[in-house]
Structure formats: structure tokens, C-alpha cells
Structure 1
């Protein structure tokens, strides 16, 4: 529960330090005094959006702190423990603090530790539930209506399962659509590749084959010239009919050997010439062998000519160098396989998507069945409650309809319609069509009270939710809220004396201004002050014996 709220330099508040008790606390005040200002400050401390206008004029920053007792809030204690933010001095207490600078920047703290605002909001939802004065208008929205059923039925786990399975399905569906779109774009490319690869497959050029063909083609193209050159060289070296190099060398060696005895210096020259004779003999032998084995095969040459010509033609067609044609072939084949694997991915994604959809429907149908059961239960309770709130012939009904378009949603398969019959003899119709403002307020309040009795939030705030209600109905509302306050801490900002008189305690908001500076304060009222305030709410500023007597009748003993 909320123990203490401290507000400094917030809007038109200079300083407030408020201590709170259990039970129902009613908050009243003159019109325009700022009855909801403490609620707004608390909302900021619970993670609502900060704004520079919240800082009191002439000051640098606003600061709000709220102290809570956690003995009745095990979920909040566990949250603090999980996030390592528990109060080291006293784990049964929690202090939330928020500051807002005049430039609009804000800071948040939990038990003295700086935290993101998102964490402040997450913890705040476990501590306080605020029902605003315009909340009943949201009852006309289908998503709000669905959330009311889910909140009443405590569908957190079921709803999370549906959301999780929806996210899984949605992710796969997005991937499949993307893959299908890509596949359509690639289809033309695949057809082209199929034709090109077939052509290259039929040609079947091997790795390094073009270089080998080119070398062999060049050799055969020049075989005639090679043979002629070989014959000429052989004649010049050793096979000449009259003179050749070998004959001349041998003659020179013989002549010089005869003169060695006359001059020993010729020995080295003779040895060199003898080596030259041997080398020419070897070269002649190898050249003769080469000539004898040199093939002149026109048919083979023609085959090589055709192969190389086709290779050059394909290379031009594919815009690559002929020596890279084999590599290009492999590259195209690899790309084609990848395109085929895209089809396999589509098949796999389609199968996975079907499983994900079945999984979603399994949990969504469980949620639908539970909603149907709790819709009947809640309908009966709201009907009983609104009949007590001066709608004697009123009937409330929650109609659950399966989604017409069968589209998957993170909220499940259901459409919802709140229906009401306000008078005898009428038929049930859509709430938006038949409910007046006052009737809508009563229905909304009945819902809030019923749901609050089931939701384990220790502190509930009703901010002028009794708008449009008066007379005997207001008295019933007051008693209803007081009974709720027997087990839950209730704060109720109200303008109705019938409601205010039902509080276990009452606070009064007043505004003072000297023409230059305005300041709002809030004080706790004793019994006499409460009587005077109730009398003011009944009859205005002119308090009479009669209005005091009426106020006494309204004041329920604390």
C-alpha cells in the first residue's frame, strides 16, 4: 500500500508531504483547486510521461517520491528481487522517486538506484491501478473490451502463449512471403541459367582444356614449317651431301691433333673441338628423332580447330575470356543450385508455417473457451451491479464472436461486443448505441469495482469516475467503493458528498493565490472538518444547520 507521497515544485504545488492509511480515502475540493494534482504527481512517480510544464514556475526541477509497504504485494517484492533493486535496509518497503528538470528531462529511481522509466512503469503497475475520469468512454473500444475480459479472467499466461505463438507464425509468414517474392524475381534468371548451363554442359569444356587445345592446335598448325626447318638443320649439321658442320669439325680436329706434338698449347683447343663434335652428334640425333616422330594429321588438326573455334564463340557469348570459360560454367551451375535451394526453403517454410499456425490455433482456442466462460460470469456480475446502481431493469451481456476474416491476431481469434438493455421490454443492443453518459459511467464503475476485487493490486485510485452519477445512485456508489476499501487501499477523487461521506478518511484540496503566485495544498480532515466539507458539497459555501444535518447523515463512521 501507499504510505507516503512527497511532492515538491510540481505544477502549482510548492510542497506536499502526505501520509496515507488503509481503507478508502476520499479527496474533495473546490472546482479548479486541483483535486487530481496528487494523483497526477503519483502517476509521474509510477512512470507516466514527463513534461517541462510539470515544473513549478520559477524553480529548476520538480521532485516526487512515493513510499510503499510491500507486505501485501508479493509480486512487487519478487520483481525487486529479480531486478536486484530491493531495499537493503528494509525489504518490506520500497521508495520510488522521479525528478523533472525545467527543460523536460527526467530521472527515475527505485530504492535510490537510477533506473530507466520503463522499469519504474513496470513496477508501478504492480503497486497502483489508476482509473481515470474518462475511463468509461474507452468501454466503447473493442480492444479495451477484450482487455477487460482478459483482466477479469487473469488470462496473462494464456494470452502470452497466444502472443508468443502468433509472433512465431508471423516471423515465418514474413520470411515465406519474402522468399516467394524473391523466387518470382529469380524465376527469369533461373530460366536463362538453365539454357546457358545446358549449352555449356553439352560443350563440356574441361578444366585447363582450352589452354591444352590452343597449344596442340598451334603445334599442328606449324608442323610443316617445323619439319622443313628440321631437315634444313640436319643437312647443315650432319647430313649434307658435300659439306656439313660435323664433317668440317672432324676435319679440323684431325688436322690439329697432328700438330699437338709440335705445340702442346693446342691440346685444350683440340679438346674443346672434340666436345663440339660430340654435342653436334647428339643434337643431330635428337633432331632426327624429332623429325621422324613429327605427325602431320589434318583430321586431328581440324578437330582442334573446331573445338577451339566453338570455345571462342561460347566465350564471346558469355562475355568471358576463353581460358575462363570452365570457371564461368562452374559459377553458373552453383548459382542455379542456390536458386533451386530457394524452392526447397519455400517448401520447408511452408511446412513450418503450417505447424506454427496449428500451434497458434491450439492456444487461441483455449483462450476463446476461457473467455466465453468468464464472459458469462462477468455479464451476470455486472448486471447485478448496475441494477443496484439505479438501473433496475438493466441487463448487461458480453457477446464473443469469432473473427470474420479468420486472420491471426496476437490477441486471439475473438471479436467482442458489449451489449446492454437499459429498460424493460427492450432487446440487447450494442453499448455504444443505447447507453447514455450516466449509464455508461455506472456500467464502467461496476466493471472497475468487480475487476478490482479480482486483481491483486494493493492500491486503487478512482479519479472522478462518478461523473454523471447523482442522488441515490451516488450513495450506492459510495457504499460500493467503501466495501472495496475494506480489503484494498482506495483513493477516490470525487465531487459527490454521498461518495465522500463513505470514506474511512477524507482529504481536502485547496488553492491560494495572491495574484502573482498560486499554490495548491492538501490536508487531512478531522470529523468536524469533514462535516463542514460535506455540507459545502451539498449546499455550496452557505453552510446551514440543515446542510450540516444532511452531512451528518451522509458521514459514515470510520
Structure 2
């Protein structure tokens, strides 16, 4: 529950510090004093959007701190543990700083967090019901949310939402593939032709460089053979004179001279070795020449292969060396397009299965809603009677629309029907209820649902607009009863509601040195009597008004 709230430089508040207790707390004050200022500040502290206008004029920033006792709030504790934001004690401190440029910073237990994290934690701490809640009551989506909140079937709601998202994701994939397939139809035809042509040519990895080298060799084979035969004569085979015999002769001469000078032995050895090398080279030349044949037909084949590769490369605007890689690339692209067709068939089956699962989940949710609606009908009808609508009847009409497109809320259509007078048929709220009646019905629903949801702190911000007399007294009793199990904070202008509180704050506005200041003061017993009397009779408080005020307060003692 909320135990402390500090506000600095927020709107017309300069500095405000309040302590809060369990039970029902009423907040009253003069018109225009800013009775809802604490609620507005608390909303910001719980992650609502911050604007520069929230900062008090003439100051650099606004700061709001809210302190909560989370001893009995397991969901809040779980969130803090998951986010590594736990404190050493059983309290939780939220802090929001808004700068005059509109930027804001958020903190939980002193650690920086996002506004979204504040908002998520806030759902486990406080539920705020504004004075315009009855307007939302006319919207079918809000009606479903109210029913689901009362039913408490969160698992069923989450399952429907999950199945819906799954259907959506599959449908998006199907649509994307279908569009891609339509766009790729012409591309597929071209790829099939290109791949077939390259398959037929069947160029292998590194083949182009090999045939290029072979073509270079074959086109010069005549020159090579003539040169080999000529040089073989010079080196070894000439009968008249050849390099090998000359080297052998010189080696013999220097070997004999070495008998006179041993230093010539090395020269003789080098010449002898050279002769051996020439002889070995000559044998290799001879073998090469004997194995090499002039093959014009092979040259023509190689030239045709080489020319074919170059033609294909030019056709695809790439280098011949890139043909094999290009062939693999377009083959994979064609395979991908073909795979899309198979995936489309698979998706058809998967979508049908997902729709079946969605239908099962939505059916289970609908059954739970029907059960909760039956109970809620009786409770709200009884509550309407307590709120001066003795002959009022309330009914939640649910209809399963199996043919409607899947959505995250299931296939139920909903309508809140009401009859406020005897003999009057049940009709939609918007057609039957007046503004005051709608406010009372809305309040009845909010209180009943709040009891079931068990939010630790409930804030009602002038939800009693349009209510007066005995009805206001009934509203006060309703809120006080709720305050026995839940902390209730109620901003009100009605003495019957304010007197129902276990405690009360008075909001006052002062003007000093040309500036406006708002204060929020806790009232003691005598202060409450004076304030209730003011609400009853205006600024001129009479003895009769005081007596009536005391009587109202004592009625709840």
C-alpha cells in the first residue's frame, strides 16, 4: 500500500509531503484548489507520460517520490527480483524527475529505470479510476477487459492472445512468400533458362585456367617441338660438336693440369658436373619431344571450350573465372524460389492448425466469460439497487462470432445491457442510462471488480460526479466497506462520501507574492467536522451544518 508521497515543484505545488494509512482516505477541497494534484503526481511516478508543463514555473525540475509497503504484494516483489531492483526491507521507493525541457528520469529503489518499468510495477501497486471511467464503459473492448479482470482467467486470455499472434505471424509469412512468388515468376523462368544453359556447359572449378593454359601450349606446340630438336643437337646429339662433349673435353684437360696444380681440381669437378647436367637435360628434352604430338583436333576442342566459356561470361557480364561461382549462385536462387512453393503448401496446413488451436483457446475463454458474466450480472444488479436504482437490472450479453477474423480478445462480442425502470426491456447502456445513472453503474462495476482483483491500493478520482443525496451516502458506504480490505483513496466533493472515510485530507490553495501554492493537510476530528460542514453548507459554516457534519461522521464510527 501507499505509505508516503513527496512532491516538489510540480504544477502549483512547491513542496508537499504526505503520509498515508490503510482504510479509506477522502480528499476534499475548494473548487480549483487542485484536489487531484496528488493523484496526477502519483500517476507520473507510476510511469505516465511526462511533459514540461508539469514543472512549476520558475524552477528547473519537478520531483515526485512515492513509498510503498510491499510486505503483502508477491507480484510486486517478483517483479523487483526479476529486474534486480530489490531492497533490503519490505518497502519500495519510486522516484520520477521531470526537467523543464520535458525530459524525465525514473528510479526504483535508487536504481535508474525506464518509464515502462515504472508502469509495469505500478500495475501491481495501484489502480486509478478516473472521473471519466463511465465514458469508457460504453466501449465494447473496455467492457471485455472489465469482465476478464473480474473473471481472473489471465491464463486463458494470454493463451488466446498467444494463439492469435501465432496465426498472425504465419499469415504474414504466407503473404510475404506469396507476394515474393508472384514477383519471382518471371525471374524463375529466366533463372531456369540460365541454369540449364550453364548445367549443359558444365564448367568445373579451375577448369577455365586449365584450358587457358592448355590452349596456350597447343597453339605453340610446333614452335616448341622445332626448338627442342634444334637445341638437342647443340647440346648433345651433334656428331661434329656439341656442348656435352666440349664440357667433357675441358673437364679432362683440367683434371690433367691438376697434376701440376691441385687448385685446378675444383674447376675440373665443376666442368664434369656441368657435362652431367647437360646430358640429363638432353634426355629430358628428348623424352618431352617424343611424347609431344601435334594434335590439331585437340586444339580445336580446347579453342571451342575456351570460346564457349568466354561467350557465357560476356553474356552474364562477369569474368570467365567467375562462371562457376555465378552458376552456383543462380542455382541456389532458383532452388530458393522452388522451396518457397513447398513452404507455401506447408504454411497452408500450419495456418489451419493454428486457427483450430485459436478456436479452441477462444472457446475456453468464452465459456469462462459466460460463467463470470452470470455472477457479475447478479452482483451489479444488487449494487444498483443499493445506489438508488431499486428496479435496475444489469446483464452482460455475450455472443460467439465464430466467423469473425481472429483477434487478440477472442471471438466474443459483448454488450452491457441495463433496465432502470420496471417493465423497461434491457437495452445497451448508451441508449438507456442517463449521465448520473451511468456514473452509478460504472462505480458499482469498478468497486465489484476491484474487490475481485484485489489491487492493494484503489484510487477513485471524483467518480461520484452526478451523484447526490441518498445515493451519495450509499456510495460512501460502498467505498468504506471496500476500504476494510483494500487501501482506498477517494477524491470527492460530496460530504456523504467524505464522511465515510477513515481519514481525510484537505487541499487548499494560497496566493503569496504573486505565486500560487497548493497544500494538502491531514484533518483531525474537529477539522473533519468543519470541512464536512463546509461541503454541506458552503463557506459560512453554521451550527446546524456542524451538527449535521458530526452526525455524518459518527454514523460510520
Same fold (TM over 0.5): yes
Which stretch shows the higher mean deviation, 143-152 or 191-200? 191-200
Equivalent-residue separation in structure 2 for 1:84 and 1:281 (angstroms): 87
SS of the counterpart of 1:126?
A: coil
Which stretch shows the higher mean deviation, 351-360 or 209-218? 209-218
Change (3 A) 1:329 1:63: closer
User: Equivalent residue for 1:502?
Assistant: 500
RMSD: 4.3
Change (3 A) 1:113 1:332: closer
User: Equivalent residue for 2:86?
Assistant: 86
Alignment of 1:441-452 (within 5 A): 441-452=439-450
Which stretch shows the higher mean deviation, 135-144 or 340-349? 340-349
Greater Rg by CA: 1
Q: Check conservation: 1:172, 1:352, Cα contact below 8 A.
A: yes
SS of the counterpart of 2:452?
A: coil
Equivalent-residue separation in structure 1 for 2:373 and 2:494 (angstroms): 32
Aligned length: 543
User: Equivalent residue for 1:17?
Assistant: 17
Alignment of 1:331-480 (within 5 A): 331-403=329-401, 406-480=404-478
Q: Paired residue for 2:196, among 189, 195, 198?
A: 198
Structure 2 runs not aligned, ≥5 long: 258-275
Q: Check conservation: 1:475, 1:498, Cα contact below 8 A.
A: yes
Change (3 A) 1:480 1:191: same
Which stretch shows the higher mean deviation, 204-213 or 345-354? 204-213
SS of the counterpart of 1:140?
A: coil
Change (3 A) 1:280 1:12: closer
Equivalent-residue separation in structure 1 for 2:384 and 2:532 (angstroms): 26
User: Equivalent residue for 1:268?
Assistant: none
Equivalent-residue separation in structure 2 for 1:189 and 1:532 (angstroms): 86
User: Equivalent residue for 2:4?
Assistant: 4
Which stretch shows the higher mean deviation, 456-465 or 410-419? 410-419
User: Equivalent residue for 1:120?
Assistant: 118
Change (3 A) 1:310 1:501: closer
Q: Check conservation: 1:210, 1:322, Cα contact below 8 A.
A: yes
1:40-95 CA-partner distances (Å, limit 9, x unpaired): 2222333333333333334343333333333333332343344343332x32x333
- Report the Cα offset of residue 363 of structure 1: 2.6
Change (3 A) 1:227 1:43: closer
- Report the Cα offset of residue 464 of structure 1: 0.5
Equivalent-residue separation in structure 2 for 1:285 and 1:27 (angstroms): 117
Change (3 A) 1:166 1:285: closer
Change (3 A) 1:97 1:195: closer
- Report the Cα offset of residue 487 of structure 1: 1.7
Change (3 A) 1:200 1:428: same
1:357-379 CA-partner distances (Å, limit 9, x unpaired): 44433333322221222122212
Q: Does 1:151 align with 2:149?
A: yes
SS of the counterpart of 2:31?
A: coil
Q: Does 1:33 align with 2:24?
A: no
Structure 1 runs not aligned, ≥5 long: 238-244, 265-277
User: Equivalent residue for 1:188?
Assistant: 186
User: Equivalent residue for 1:489?
Assistant: 487
1:306-335 CA-partner distances (Å, limit 9, x unpaired): 666666655554445566655544443343
Change (3 A) 1:546 1:212: closer
Change (3 A) 1:14 1:204: closer
Which stretch shows the higher mean deviation, 142-151 or 154-163? 154-163
Change (3 A) 1:421 1:231: same
User: Equivalent residue for 1:59?
Assistant: 59
- Report the Cα offset of residue 279 of structure 1: 13
SS of the counterpart of 2:376?
A: helix
Equivalent-residue separation in structure 2 for 1:73 and 1:288 (angstroms): 100
Equivalent-residue separation in structure 2 for 1:147 and 1:363 (angstroms): 17
Change (3 A) 1:528 1:286: closer
- Report the Cα offset of residue 203 of structure 1: 4.3
- Report the Cα offset of residue 454 of structure 1: 0.9
Q: Does 1:530 align with 2:541?
A: no
- Report the Cα offset of residue 6 of structure 1: 2.8
- Report the Cα offset of residue 446 of structure 1: 0.5
- Report the Cα offset of residue 284 of structure 1: 12
User: Equivalent residue for 1:50?
Assistant: 50
Q: Does 1:69 align with 2:69?
A: yes
Q: Check conservation: 1:129, 1:460, Cα contact below 8 A.
A: yes
Change (3 A) 1:355 1:291: same
SS of the counterpart of 2:28?
A: strand
Change (3 A) 1:214 1:518: closer
User: Equivalent residue for 1:106?
Assistant: 104
- Report the Cα offset of residue 455 of structure 1: 1.5
Alignment of 1:269-284 (within 5 A): none
SS of the counterpart of 2:517?
A: strand
Equivalent-residue separation in structure 2 for 1:10 and 1:114 (angstroms): 21
SS of the counterpart of 1:44?
A: helix
User: Equivalent residue for 2:166?
Assistant: 168
Q: Check conservation: 1:246, 1:281, Cα contact below 8 A.
A: no
User: Equivalent residue for 1:242?
Assistant: none
**TM-score between the two structures when normalised by the length of structure 1:** 0.81
Equivalent-residue separation in structure 2 for 1:522 and 1:96 (angstroms): 20
Equivalent-residue separation in structure 2 for 1:103 and 1:287 (angstroms): 91
Equivalent-residue separation in structure 2 for 1:112 and 1:289 (angstroms): 91
Q: Check conservation: 1:246, 1:280, Cα contact below 8 A.
A: no
